[in-house]
Chains A and B, each alone.
Chain A
């Protein structure tokens, strides 16, 4: 059954990279959905599979990566079996992406305007040149850039402007969902703040779905309605933003929240999560977090917990949710 209210449904998505030492399951049995106009945050540490999910959704996989099993339904259509050419019909128009390194996702020898027009000519050929030009002006306005700068080259832009231009480009073919992979991570805090505000406004104004990926839970708190927490290739907890930040039930999320410093409120002692994330070549058996978990019991060593509902829309994969025994 597919729910037409959802732009995106991901079911049991598993993808791996082939390495010389064997397959690395960077994303392992991940399930989630994104409703129309909904803003989802995906948070986790480096190597937890956040970006691997993003490139799987767009099927922009490197040569050594395969989607092993699972479904990715965009507007109800499973895109996993599609060829690259067929997938091209969905990219930009249904799903598009903003990468972290804006400079690398732009061609240095074309003007910003030219690059946005190129995407539109490919994917929305029914528009006339005049309409496309108007659209470029509209997009520049939308992301807070002065259209006077549109015939400049990427190197003439500052870091923040480039990131805005890349967002304009991702929005150029009116996608239903946009994936933003750490778009503000390389920016200074004041510029980041301006861009986050802009992203929130755009998302609300266009009523567009968004997956915002970041390692920074404070940034995730700013932009997401629902948040998914990833650990070692697994989605371990997913709930509304308030629930994740105020009543997390997975011990990893609980640790993450209390190890993150904040400049407001009481200066609480920061909690240390012992150990380090596992090597995905040989992940620990049972629950992948058990070697670092203060609540781990025998069952955690042996059996993998199911990702299931604990309280309405609060999902988690844990044998001892909330730390109870």
Chain B
């Protein structure tokens, strides 16, 4: 993945995050969980990229790295901003604060991600306060406008409510308003609809898409649900044990998956139609932890097609197999 153009907003290069395990008091850690391992990813301005995979594959860690809630062990995250190219991997102090204005996050659980003692107004206006944007009347007008935009109407009846007075769907709308109030370029949404019921979820999904068009927001949409990703994302990246193993346009991925893991993942998604028979692809065992992984394909142990090539060579790099369909597999 070396293709570049002016449209790139985020360019992630060889990004890794290792967590030490079994660290003693005086002993330096020698074993690490490779939560994210030499990850490369480009996100274009205005597009919505889905990051899918099973639990423990490193989706959320990637999201936290891109919002710099945690610091990467190595690698770079280059953001194309108005002031030129900025590597956000090791920002500090004032620069960090400026960066926070550009990147926001929406969390999975609207019950845990909000301060129960703050009203809706305080929650949504907090980023403005922190960044010192606008006067108090301007902030009020801003917040009221945005609450109406995210479907909390009339805004006046919501401004002074506390989170416990809101339903799950309403809370998630407040979380979206909070993320968008300072006009970020890039929003990382970590399973924003997985706690919501079906009938409420569709509304929130549509809202996020409308807002993306309206404010020109670029999303990294983290989810375990391929069906939701189909509706939310232009491109989907499939992660497995800290690596992206396949990335391409959404419909292409769902209809013509190339990596054996993607194939298995897609065939395992239940279909809401009792007359539909899914293709059955068996893979062995369950997902393991990437603790000091062997220098071979990460999927080797479970792969139904694995050969000697996969064992003796290091994890394959992502390669373009035609029309921007990138796959990391020796056999494709």
Contact = CB atoms under 8 A, between A and B. Distances in A.
Interface of A: 45-46, 158, 160, 188-193, 196, 215-219, 221-222, 224, 241-242, 245-246, 255-257, 259-265, 267, 270-274, 276-277, 292
Contact of A261 (B224, B230, B276): B230
Given A190-B264, A215-B197, A262-B227, A221 B54 contact: no
Contact of A245 (B197, B265, B272, B287): B272
Contact of B286 (A45, A158, A245): A158
Contact of B271 (A191, A221, A241, A292): A221
Given A260-B198, A276-B167, A242 B268 contact: no
A262 B274 CA distance: 13
Given A189-B224, A190-B283, A263-B230, A270 B202 contact: yes
19 contacts: A45-B197, A188-B55, A189-B265, A190-B265, A190-B286, A218-B270, A255-B199, A256-B198, A257-B272, A261-B225, A261-B227, A261-B230, A261-B231, A263-B227, A267-B251, A270-B202, A270-B205, A272-B199, A277-B199
A217 to B, nearest CB: 5
Given A190-B283, A267-B230, A259 B202 contact: yes
A264 B276 contact: yes
Contacts of B169: 276
Contacts of A192: 268, 270
A196 B270 contact: yes
A298 B177 CA distance: 37
A246 B275 CA distance: 9
Contacts of B269: 189, 193, 218, 263
A236 to B, nearest CB: 13
B268 A193 contact: yes
Contact of B228 (A224, A245, A261, A271): A261
B93 to A, nearest CB: 40
B86 interface: no
Interface string B25-51: 000000000000000000000000000
Contacts of B228: 261
Given A45-B197, A259-B199, A188 B271 contact: no
B272 A217 contact: yes
Interface residues of B, number: 39
A156 to B, nearest CB: 14
A222 B254 CA distance: 20
B196 to A, nearest CB: 9
Contacts of A190: 54, 264-265, 268, 283, 286
A37 B233 CA distance: 42
A274 B264 CA distance: 36
Given A188-B54, A190-B54, A191-B286, A273 B202 contact: yes
B271 A277 contact: no
Given A218-B270, A246-B275, 11 more contacts: A46-B197, A190-B54, A190-B286, A192-B270, A193-B269, A221-B273, A222-B274, A246-B273, A263-B266, A264-B273, A272-B199
A277 to B, nearest CB: 7
B23 interface: no
Q: Which of A160, A256, A261 has the most CB of B within 10 A?
A: A261
B168 to A, nearest CB: 8
B237 to A, nearest CB: 16
Given A188-B287, A189-B224, A190-B54, A263 B271 contact: yes
A267 B234 CA distance: 13
Contact of A222 (B197, B199, B265, B270): B270
A27 to B, nearest CB: 18
Contact of A262 (B167, B199, B265, B271): B271
Interface in B177-213: 197-203, 205-206
